[in-house]
Amino acid sequence: MRYIQAMAIGLWAAVAMAGDTAPRNLDWAAAAGQAGWRMTVRGPDGNTQELASETATRIGDGEAGHPSDRTWTASVGEASAQIHLADTPGEDGLRHLKLTARLPDGWTVVRTDWPVLANLGMVPGVKLAAPFGWGLEYDLKPGMGFEGTYPSLVISMPFVALYAGGKGLYVGIHDATGSHKRLVVRAREEGVSITCTHVAAEADTANGRYAPDFHVAVGPFDGDYWEAAQIYRRFTRHTPWGRAGTTSPQADASASQARPVAGNEPAQRSPQWLRDIDLWFIVDGDPLAKVETCQSAQAFFDTPIGLHLYNWHEIPFDTLYPEYFPPKPGFREGVAKLQQAGLRVTPYINGRLCDPNSKTWKEEGGEAASALDPEGKPYTEVYGSKVPLHVMCPATTFWRDKVSGIVDRLIREYNVDGVYIDQITAAHAVQCMRTDHGHSPGGGVFWSEGYRRMLDQIRERLPEGRILTSEENAECWNDQFDALLMVNTPAVGGRRIIPLMPTVYAGRVITFGFQYMAADDVPRSLPFRAKMARCFLFGAQLGWIKTELVMAETARVEAEFLRNLARARQGAHAFLLDGAFLGEVEATGDVPRLQGEGGSGGGKYTIDLPAVMATAWMAQDGTLALAAVNMSDVERTVDLPVPWERAAKAEFGPAATHGPRPAQVRVTIPPTDARVVRIDSTKP
């Protein structure tokens, strides 16, 4: 696990805040009708040319039954291209935009920006919801910018939403193929711009025709991030990774072939022992040396526990990958002893990087399997080890066999319970310009499809009851991983972490952890409590902390807080594991604010949170529940509103209640404790 540095991989833009903008008309409903486009094309000589709707010649509007469609022509070399923007109403009530083009012989599309939504109205107080990890909410002001590449932790789901005063604009790329794309939002004095980009492969221009198999949905909605996420949640039912209980049939690559599935089925493939887990710990180094501490933790918490095992190999961390074998002496015995203590062991490997000094690179031909950038060079990244590491191409048989073989050996020779494959669902897609990797040069779908084939290959040999996990939540492999570690969402820069990801995928994806634990989080207490409280409230399995930190004699209060949360979660799996997420609810009454400073991978940040926080959930039988955490050292009695309106919009139909529907529920929560209140009664 690592923090994905912006400097190293270019995942997000810096945020600069400016003063409030003057009020202006918020005519978001007309956004789709104002959409433009840009296109980069490459000719037979290898040179590129830029086209745009602003400079192309408009030659026609609409066809029979499609009056909003628009067509342009543009000079391309000594010939011309025709670009068509289809604009049709969708069943979701939004406008569906789809760009196609006819190019002269020998010309291909490199990338397209569509739609380009410029100068959208902006008023004071407008918010931006962005799919960065758990989700981030920005105060949208002139000078602010957000951008990222899909798939990655920064654009884990390719949609954004603007909202203010109960009204919003949704912009989502509805693509069941998982193709390489980017989203960019910019706020300036004159308004907000949103640009959706498709990074194409050469094969995306077939016989001179560019016609990607997805559309962009644009339109207004009522509400905030939760309502916007419902739009995308419904779309995910038409994707290979959003249909619970499926594997990854390659025939289901397009939305037209995918079968929508009703309901909110849990991840049925995952073994019951994983579903039963409420707590994760980190073990670093020789597992034999940590057995006693882990045994003490198991006895204290008395709940199923998962372990992430780091540095089990003799090579230094982030060095000489992927030469993980032989492991450190005593590895096999340490794994067995930890399992005998009742813990489940999943060691770390990296599924994406190769050290150019490794045997794999130098002697086995690994260099030929690396991804090459448009300049013909390997992508190089440097982390804490200061060792340059190269990004490998997942479309190659070589790399798929290499990672699959490592997982298979760990499972069969060392009897681990699963393998944590780092970076696949965190690091962003890249272009690969090689012509001998079995994919079309450029972007396109090779990145998502390559890892899907790799994970299918691994799962074919995975014994029953063993699991695969990964870092973060790029969605297009949801159906192939059993659980996702969520710890990279940044809290710095004036952004609020919001539960965007569970709003879309609760009940279908198992998550664990919340943010990195800084070295002083437990001693300072409030940073630890704030992270674990939201971990609980967002439906994730708790923890992902070094065992010795929380089991220290000086950490008794924090350990008891974590144990209280784990016990509360144990009895609430119908909601927090398998249920639909109905959003945050505001506790009122005895709710002072807790203030302090915390730390994570992105640096220090200010903590200013209510002492009691809460969320609402619906089980598959229609029962509602309110989950609440008291982070303070004092008993609190609070009132929690019941979101009946949102419950009526959930997938399971009308909420099941026994008796009257209370507008709010009063609950008393002991200090540093949690409660889950079922709404078939007014009693906790």
Asked if 304 and 213 sit in the same domain, the reply is no
**Tell me, what CATH number does 48's domain have?**
2.70.98
Same domain, 486 and 562: yes
pLDDT in tens, 134-161: 999 999 999 999 999 999 999 999 999 9
Which pLDDT value is given to residue 310?
96
More confident residue, 267 or 449: 449
Q: Is residue 241 part of a domain?
A: yes
Q: Which pair of tokens denotes residue 400?
A: 């798929």
* Residue 306 β-bridge partners: 280, 344
pLDDT band at 119 (very low <50, low <70, confident <90, very high): confident
Identify which of 196, 227, 182, 223 has the alpha carbon closest to the alpha carbon of residue 32. Answer: 196
Count the helix, strand and coil residues of the chain and give each as a percent rounded to the nearest 5.
Answer: 25, 35, 40
547 and 663 part of one domain: no
What is the CA 248 to chain-centroid distance, rounded?
19
- Classify residue 264: in a domain, yes or no: no
Average pLDDT over residues 366-391: 97
**In a shared domain, residues 518 and 665:** no
Q: Please, are residues 349 and 421 in contact by the beta-carbon 8 Å criterion?
A: yes
pLDDT of residue 13: 26
| Listed residues 222, 252, 282: the one ending a domain | 252
Q: Record the pTM.
A: 0.92
Span 496-520, mean pLDDT? 95
Q: Residue 519: what pLDDT? A: 85
What average pLDDT score do residues 474-485 get? Answer: 97
> Is residue 432 included in any domain, yes or no?
no
- pLDDT tens readout for residues 190-221: 889 999 999 999 999 999 999 999 999 999 99
User: What gap in Å lies between CA 557 and CA 568, rounded to an integer?
Assistant: 17
86 bridge partner residues: 98
605 belongs to a structural domain = yes
Place of tokens 């943010």: 515
CATH of the domain at 602: 2.60.40
Rg of the Cα trace of the chain?
25
Please state, in angstroms and rounded to a whole number, the distance separating the CA atoms of residues 414 and 667. 48
User: Hunting for tokens 């956004």 — which residue is that?
Assistant: 31
The rounded distance, in Å, linking the Cα atoms of 664 and 51 is: 56
The residue whose two tokens read 């995910």 is 236
Please give the tally of structural domains in the chain. 3
Structural tokens at position 325: 């074998």
Domain boundary residue, one of 569, 593, 616: 569
Statement to judge: residues 627 and 549 lie in one domain: no
Specify whether the CB–CB gap between 410 and 416 falls below 8 A: yes
Q: What is the rounded distance in angstroms from the CA atom of residue 560 to the CA atom of residue 301?
A: 8
Q: What pLDDT score was predicted for residue 8?
A: 25
**C-alpha neighbours within 13 Å on the C-beta side of residue 661:** 12
Place 63 in a pLDDT band, splitting at 50, 70 and 90: low
Please report the DSSP string for 639-651 in residue order. EEE--HHHHHHST
Q: Which of 548, 569, 590 is the last residue of a domain?
A: 569
Mean per-residue pLDDT over the chain, rounded: 89
* Residue 571 burial (C-beta neighbours within 10 Å; 0-12, 13-18, 19+): exposed
The most distant pair of C-alpha atoms in the chain lies apart, rounded to whole Å, by 77
Q: Is 668 helix (H, G, I), strand (E, B) or coil?
A: strand
What proportion of the chain, given as a percentage, has pLDDT over 70? 89
Other Cβ atoms within 10 Å of 398 Cβ, number:
16
Q: Do 139 and 234 have their domain in common?
A: yes
Which runs of E-coded beta strand occur in 392-495?
A: 418-422, 467-471, 483-485
The yes-or-no verdict on residue 246 having pLDDT over 90 is no
525 and 409 within one domain: yes
| Residue 625 included in any domain | yes
What are phi and psi for residue 50, nearest 5 degrees? Answer: -100, 130
pLDDT of residue 600: 67
589 within 8 A of 597, measured Cβ to Cβ: no
Say which residue, 1 or 134, is predicted with more confidence: 134
User: Would you say residue 681 has pLDDT above 70?
Assistant: no
Residue 380 belongs to a domain = no
pLDDT in tens, 292-301: 999 999 999 9
Cis bond upstream, residue 671 (ω within 30): no
Residue 67 has pLDDT above 50, yes or no: yes
Same domain (yes/no): 87, 30: yes
Please report which confidence band the pLDDT of residue 266 belongs to, taking 50, 70 and 90 as the band edges. Answer: very low
Asked if 56 and 148 sit in the same domain, the reply is yes
CATH number of the domain to which 512 belongs: 3.20.20.80
Do 593 and 560 lie in a common domain?
A: no
Looking at residue 31, its pLDDT comes to 67
Note the pLDDT of residue 299. 95
Contact of 137 with 225, CB cutoff 8 Å: yes
79-96 mean pLDDT: 92
In a domain, 362, yes or no: no
Examine residue 557 and state whether it is found in any structural domain, yes or no: yes
All residues at 6 or more sequence positions from 347 whose CB lies less than 8 Å from its CB, including other chains:
308, 309, 310, 312, 410, 414, 416, 419, 420
Q: How many helices (H) and strands (E) are present in the chain, helices listed first? A: 15, 38
The range of the structural domain enclosing residue 102 comes to 6-252
CB atoms within 10 A of CB 656: 15
CB 303 within 8 A of CB 278: yes
> Does the pLDDT value for residue 244 go beyond 80?
no
Q: Say yes or no: 450 and 538 in one domain.
A: yes
What SS3 state is found at 55? Answer: coil
Q: Are residues 47 and 90 in the same domain?
A: yes
Structure tokens given for 294:
């882990």
